[in-house]
């Protein structure tokens, strides 16, 4: 059992430890490059690739969507503003 003195794992660490049934390991290098508190644009890139290339489970999609929504709120940005910066999207079509 974890005590309150033990360090909690970051979402980045948890995703990097995800089994292949939840998240394809080809996304690990992208996630590994995230900030400790990932920015909305960083989350969106992985979310897009999970959705468009079927690289994760439904649970992972829901988790990434929730993380993305929270990051947008914290950054005070709209989804439209962040999506305009998604340069990888031209490669997904």
Residue 28 Ramachandran class (φ > 0 left, ψ -120 to 50 alpha, else beta): alpha
CB 44 within 8 Å of CB 86: yes
Whole-number Cα distances in Å, 90 to 15, 33, 60, 61, 84: 25, 21, 23, 21, 11
Q: Which residues of the chain have pLDDT under 70?
A: 1-7, 92-93
5 lies in some domain = no
Residue 23 lies in a domain: yes
In terms of residue numbers, what domain contains 41?
11-92
Phi, psi of 64 (to 5 degrees): -65, -35
50 part of a folded domain: yes
**How many domains does the chain fold into?**
1
With respect to residue 1, please indicate whether it lies within any of the assigned structural domains. no
**pTM > 0.75:** yes
Average pLDDT, the chain: 91
């Amino acid at each position: 059992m974890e005590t309150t003195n033990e360090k909690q794992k970051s979402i980045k660490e948890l995703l990097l430890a995800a089994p292949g049934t939840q998240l394809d390991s080809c996304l690990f290098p992208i996630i590994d490059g995230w900030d400790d508190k990932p920015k909305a644009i960083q989350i969106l890139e992985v979310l897009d690739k999970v959705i468009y290339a079927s690289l994760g489970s439904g649970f992972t999609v829901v988790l990434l969507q929730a993380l993305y929504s929270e990051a947008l709120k914290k950054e005070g940005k709209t989804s439209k503003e962040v999506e305009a910066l998604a340069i990888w999207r031209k490669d997904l079509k």
